[in-house]
Amino acid sequence: MRIILLGPPGSGKGTQGDLISQRYGFPKVSTGDILRLAVRGRTDLGVKAESMMNRGLLVSDDIVLELVRRRISAEDCRRGYLLDGFPRNISQAESLEKLETGRPERAVEIQVDFDLLVQRLSARLVCGQCQAVYNLNVQPPRREGACDVCSGGLVRRKDDQPEVIAERLKVYKKETEPLRGYYQAKNMYHAVDGQGTVQDVYLRIASYLDAALAEAPGLKDEARR
């Protein structure tokens, strides 16, 4: 099974993706994480992607598609996987289906009010070493400026600066939101309220996916509980 997590920047896809991936035993494939790793490693691809990312714009479909193709052909994705941050537009969604035809899929959109997204993204810090994510309002580190996990220094993502946040939300509306209609038309779409605690949102997503798995035995075979 392929689980696609849709939702604007700051909606909690990364956090929920980790929890859902643990629940069903599917790896989480985050194109944002893969790209940031490439940027940090100064690979050719990372160097190409960096300026688009820093400006809040989408990296070219060719680059992202190649990264996804490589990642989902790995052995651990054979039974299923969860996508976070991909597809980001209709063309990527169509390419994904061509890449792997016939894989059953479900798209879950995490919906959060615009004002709250801006608040969340503005309060986000990440560890420069292990990439653990914090939020100064709801999940601050125990010691100011230091990671709870590895004591690394906490930094703001370059694309979490106010003007870049505004650009990313604009790009989301224009490029990514049309995926809602795309998956609705295929009868594979479900929306959840992304407000409330992490646990509240997790239970909403899991109860939908549990029901989807119960209804479609073909999906269930692929999930480990």
Residues forming contacts to ligand AMP in the complex (CB under 6 A) are 9, 31-32, 35, 52-53, 56-59, 64, 85-86, 88, 92, 159, 168
CB of 28 to ligand AMP, least distance (A): 12
The answer to whether 222 and 79 have CB atoms below 8 angstroms apart is yes
Which residues have a Cβ under 8 Å from the Cβ of 151 and sit 6 or more positions away?
Answer: none
Using alpha carbons, select from 44, 41, 45 the residue that is nearest to residue 65.
Answer: 45
Q: Using the Cα atoms of residue 35, residue 41, residue 46 and residue 50 in order, give the sign of their dihedral.
A: positive
Per the residue annotation, which of 28, 36, 124, 204 is the catalytic one?
124
Closer CB to ligand AMP, residue 159 or residue 222?
A: 159
Closer by beta carbon to ligand AMP, 8 or else 80? 8
Catalytic annotation on 71? no
Torsion-angle region of 8 (φ positive above 0: left; ψ -120 to 50: alpha; else: beta): beta
- Residues with Cβ within 8 Å of residue 157, at least 6 apart in sequence: 124, 126
Residue 55 designated active-site? no
CA 55 distance to own-chain centroid: 18
Position with the least CB separation from ligand AMP: 32
Active site residue 13: yes
Cβ closest to ligand AMP, residue 14 vs residue 80: 14
> Which residue out of 71, 88, 106, 204 is catalytically annotated?
88
Amino acid at 128: G
Report the nearest approach of ligand AMP to the CB of residue 20 (Å): 16
Active site residue 106: no
Task: Indicate if 224 belongs to the active site.
Answer: no
Q: Which residues are catalytic?
A: 13, 88, 124, 157, 168
